[in-house]
Copies of this chain bind each other. A is one copy, B any other.
C-alpha cells in the first residue's frame, strides 16, 4: 500500500486537489476526499480498503463494559440500516480474524466529566480495523468516525484504509436546548442526543426554567412544575432517563435554572419569592420580562438551598448553570424594602445586587458539590473566580474573563435560533487567530455551545433549526482551528445531514409533511420550489414582522422553511460559473435557465393553491416575487446569451423591482436575490466586456451587484 498524509492545516487551506499536491507519494489512487465531520486531528489515507459485508464481525480486546457493548450494538444497527446487510449479533471471540477490533483502556468516569479523555486512534487496513482509546468514551467517538468512513461503490461497501489520530480541540462542546419556551418531549431530546454523539458533541445544556415554563418535577416544591408548566414537564424519572441516555453516549447533562430573572414561572407557584407581590401568570410572549426573585430575603435562599439540594442529586454533573442573564432589575427599583436593603448593605446598583445574589447562590451550590456557571452578565468585579462564564457577548468578553482567571464557554456566534447561514457560525472561533491570550489563559476557554432558544420551534420543527448547521459548530469545537474551508464544509455537511436521519432526526422529512398540511392534499411541488429559495428573516425579526405567542401554532409556511437555503447556494454557484465563462456564457447557462423557468412557473401554480388554503395567504406576495425573479432572470439571461446590452431603463426598473422583492414578506426573504441582481447587472454591463478582461468584468459586475446597503448582521 502506498500512503499519503495530510494534516488538517493542509486540508483546511486547500481543496482536495490541493491536498494531493502536498502528498508524500501519488502513485496510488488513495481517496482525495472524505466525509468526516468533524475532521480529525490527523488522517493518513492509504490505497487499500476494508470490505464491509455480511461477515463483518467485532471483537473487543480486554474489558467490555456495558456502555461499550451498547455502543457497539448501536453502531452495528446503523451499519445494517445503511447497507441492508444482516450482521452477526454479539462479539467475535477471535480478535485476529474480526473485521473490527476495539480496545478500551477502561470504562471511563461514572459521571461524565469535562476532564474525560476522548482521544482515540483508528487504523484501517485491507484486512482489519483497529480502534483504540484510553476510555470507552474515546471508543464511542471512534465508532462514529468509522460510521462516517463507511463508503460504497459497485464492488460493495468498504472502509478506506486510513490511520487516524484524533482528539478534541476543546473539552466542552455543547448544544443548549431551551425546553421552556416550547416544551420538547423525551423523543426529541433522545434523537438529538444521538445526533450530538454522531458529530462528537459532549454537553447537553438543558435550559429547564424560564418566564414561559418550569419544566422539571420538584418533589420538594411540587407547585413549581404543577402550576408553572401547563402540565408539560419532565418527571424526575424522565430526567434520570435523559441523564443515563446521554451518559451512554459520552454526553454530559448540565441543567440550567435561570435566576434571578427569567423567573416568572417560579413565581406563579411561589409569588412569595418575587420582588413584587404578584400574582403571576405564565408568560406567553417572547422578550425580556420584569419578574425576578427578591435577593434581599433570607427565605429565598432557604428555598433555593432546598431546591438545589434536590436538583444536585438529580443531575450528577459537576456543573450547574444558574442563568443570570437579562435581569434589568425593574422590580428591584420599585421595591422600597429592596432599596432600603441596598442602602444598608452599601450595594451601589442592581449589578452589585445581582452579584450579591450570585455569591449567596454560589455558597449554596458549593454546599451541594456543584460548580456554578452563568451567562455573561454574572461576570462582575466582585465575582469569585471559580464561577464559569458562559458568553453570549463574544470571544472578546470570553478572553477578558480568561485573562482574569475565569473559565468560560462561548455561545456568541453559535445562536442557531437566529437563522444565520452555517458559514457564519463556522468562522466563529472561541480563540480567534488574533487572540492575545497566553497558553495558560487560553486553557481557560473550555469550548462552546450552540444555543437552541425555542421561542419559535415546535417538536416538529426544532430538528430543522438545529441540524445540520450544528454539525459545523461541532467541527469548529473539535477539529484543529485551521480547518476552515467553506466549500469543503458544505460538501461534507450535505452528506452528514442525510446520515443524521439515521438516528431519527426529522429535519429533512418534516418539511414535506408541513407543506402537505398547508396544501391540503394538493401537489406540493410548487410550494417546495418556493420554500427551497426562501429563508426566515434573521435575528429577532420574525416576531417583529409576524407576531405570535408561545401558544400560537408553528405550522405556517415560515415553519416549513429552513435556514441557509441549499438551493440559493447552488444557484449562486451556477450564476458565478456562468459569469466566469464570459464572454461565451455557455457554462451552466442551461441550469440557470431551468431554475429561473421553474421559479417563473411556480408563481401562478402557487396562486391557485393559495386560493384554496387560507393558511397560505401570506405566501401570495412571495409567489408574485418568485414569478418576477424568474421572469427578470430569464430576461437578463436572454440578453446575456444574445450578447445584447439592454436599455438603461430596463436595468433601473429591474433593480427597483428586485429591491421590492428583497423586502421580507410573512417574515420570509429570498437569499437568491443577489444572484439575480448579478444577472441583471451582467446584462447591463455586457458592452464593457470590450474594455476589460473577463475577470475584471466579472469583478465589476459583482461589485455593482452588491446591494446598496446591508441591514443587520
- B551 and A89 contacting across the interface, CB-CB below 8 Å: yes
- B612 and A84 contacting across the interface, CB-CB below 8 Å: no
Query: How many residues of chain A get a CB closer than 8 Å to chain B's CBs?
Result: 44
- B498 and A508 contacting across the interface, CB-CB below 8 Å: no
A299 contacts the other chain (CB 8 A): no
- A510 and B513 contacting across the interface, CB-CB below 8 Å: no
A553 contacts the other chain (CB 8 A): yes
A495 contacts the other chain (CB 8 A): yes
- List chain B residues, Cβ under 8 A from A612: 152-154
- A615 and B82 contacting across the interface, CB-CB below 8 Å: yes
- List chain B residues, Cβ under 8 A from A89: 551
Q: Quote the shortest CB–CB distance from A359 to chain B (angstroms).
A: 41
A494 contacts the other chain (CB 8 A): yes
- A152 and B552 contacting across the interface, CB-CB below 8 Å: no
What is the count of identical protomers in the complex?
2
Partner of A614, one of B152, B495, B548, B555: B152
- In the assembled complex, the Cα of A518 lies from the Cα of B551 at a distance in Å of 39
- List chain B residues, Cβ under 8 A from A495: 520-521
Q: Known pairs A81-B553, A501-B513; list 15 more (Cβ under 8 Å).
A: A80-B555, A82-B517, A82-B520, A84-B518, A85-B553, A89-B551, A152-B520, A152-B615, A495-B520, A495-B521, A498-B517, A501-B516, A508-B513, A508-B516, A512-B512
A613 contacts the other chain (CB 8 A): yes
Report A104-124 CB contacts with B as 1/0, cut-off 8 Å.
000000000000000000000
What are 28 of the A-B contact pairs (CB < 8 Å)?
A: A77-B553, A81-B517, A81-B555, A82-B517, A83-B614, A83-B615, A84-B518, A84-B555, A85-B553, A86-B548, A86-B549, A86-B552, A86-B553, A152-B520, A152-B612, A152-B613, A152-B615, A154-B611, A154-B612, A156-B614, A494-B521, A495-B520, A495-B521, A498-B521, A501-B516, A502-B517, A508-B516, A509-B510
Q: Quote the shortest CB–CB distance from A122 to chain B (angstroms).
A: 21
- In the assembled complex, the Cα of A83 lies from the Cα of B520 at a distance in Å of 10
A280 contacts the other chain (CB 8 A): no
A650 contacts the other chain (CB 8 A): no
Report A151-183 CB contacts with B as 1/0, cut-off 8 Å.
011111100000000000000000000000000
A583 contacts the other chain (CB 8 A): no
- B513 and A509 contacting across the interface, CB-CB below 8 Å: yes
- In the assembled complex, the Cα of A521 lies from the Cα of B152 at a distance in Å of 12
- In the assembled complex, the Cα of A506 lies from the Cα of B513 at a distance in Å of 9
For A84, A551, A556, which residue has the most chain B Cβ atoms within 10 angstroms?
Answer: A84
- In the assembled complex, the Cα of A609 lies from the Cα of B366 at a distance in Å of 59
- In the assembled complex, the Cα of A138 lies from the Cα of B613 at a distance in Å of 30
Q: Quote the shortest CB–CB distance from A605 to chain B (angstroms).
A: 16
A187 contacts the other chain (CB 8 A): yes
- B494 and A614 contacting across the interface, CB-CB below 8 Å: no
- In the assembled complex, the Cα of A516 lies from the Cα of B157 at a distance in Å of 17
Q: Which residue of B lies closest to A80 (CB)?
A: B553
- In the assembled complex, the Cα of A516 lies from the Cα of B85 at a distance in Å of 17
Chain A residues 388-444 with CB under 8 Å of chain B are none
- List chain B residues, Cβ under 8 A from A155: 614
Q: Quote the shortest CB–CB distance from A547 to chain B (angstroms).
A: 10
Q: Which residue of B lies closest to A154 (CB)?
A: B611
- In the assembled complex, the Cα of A548 lies from the Cα of B86 at a distance in Å of 8
Partner of A187, one of B81, B82, B187, B521: B187
- A520 and B548 contacting across the interface, CB-CB below 8 Å: no
- In the assembled complex, the Cα of A157 lies from the Cα of B615 at a distance in Å of 9
- List chain B residues, Cβ under 8 A from A518: 84
Q: Which residue of B lies closest to A88 (CB)?
A: B551
Q: Quote the shortest CB–CB distance from A303 to chain B (angstroms).
A: 30
Q: Which residue of B lies closest to A504 (CB)?
A: B460
- List chain B residues, Cβ under 8 A from A84: 518, 553, 555-556, 615
- In the assembled complex, the Cα of A613 lies from the Cα of B495 at a distance in Å of 14
Q: Quote the shortest CB–CB distance from A501 to chain B (angstroms).
A: 5
- In the assembled complex, the Cα of A512 lies from the Cα of B528 at a distance in Å of 14
Report A486-505 CB contacts with B as 1/0, cut-off 8 Å.
00000000110010011000
- B509 and A555 contacting across the interface, CB-CB below 8 Å: no
- In the assembled complex, the Cα of A138 lies from the Cα of B72 at a distance in Å of 50
- A86 and B152 contacting across the interface, CB-CB below 8 Å: no
- List chain B residues, Cβ under 8 A from A520: 82, 152, 495, 498
Q: Quote the shortest CB–CB distance from A491 to chain B (angstroms).
A: 10
For A155, A517, A553, A556, which residue has the most chain B Cβ atoms within 10 angstroms?
Answer: A553
- B614 and A157 contacting across the interface, CB-CB below 8 Å: yes
Chain A residues 21-71 with CB under 8 Å of chain B are none
- In the assembled complex, the Cα of A86 lies from the Cα of B155 at a distance in Å of 55
Report A352-380 CB contacts with B as 1/0, cut-off 8 Å.
00000000000000000000000000000
- In the assembled complex, the Cα of A83 lies from the Cα of B614 at a distance in Å of 7
- List chain B residues, Cβ under 8 A from A556: 84
- List chain B residues, Cβ under 8 A from A153: 611-612
- In the assembled complex, the Cα of A613 lies from the Cα of B613 at a distance in Å of 40
Closest 10 CB pairs of A and B: A80-B553, A84-B615, A509-B509, A86-B552, A84-B556, A81-B555, A509-B513, A156-B614, A154-B611, A498-B521
- List chain B residues, Cβ under 8 A from A512: 508-509, 512
- In the assembled complex, the Cα of A154 lies from the Cα of B509 at a distance in Å of 29
Q: Which residue of B lies closest to A82 (CB)?
A: B517
Chain A residues 628-686 with CB under 8 Å of chain B are none
- List chain B residues, Cβ under 8 A from A549: 86
- In the assembled complex, the Cα of A80 lies from the Cα of B551 at a distance in Å of 10
- List chain B residues, Cβ under 8 A from A548: 86
- List chain B residues, Cβ under 8 A from A80: 552-553, 555
- List chain B residues, Cβ under 8 A from A154: 611-612, 614
Report A542-566 CB contacts with B as 1/0, cut-off 8 Å.
0000001101110110000000000
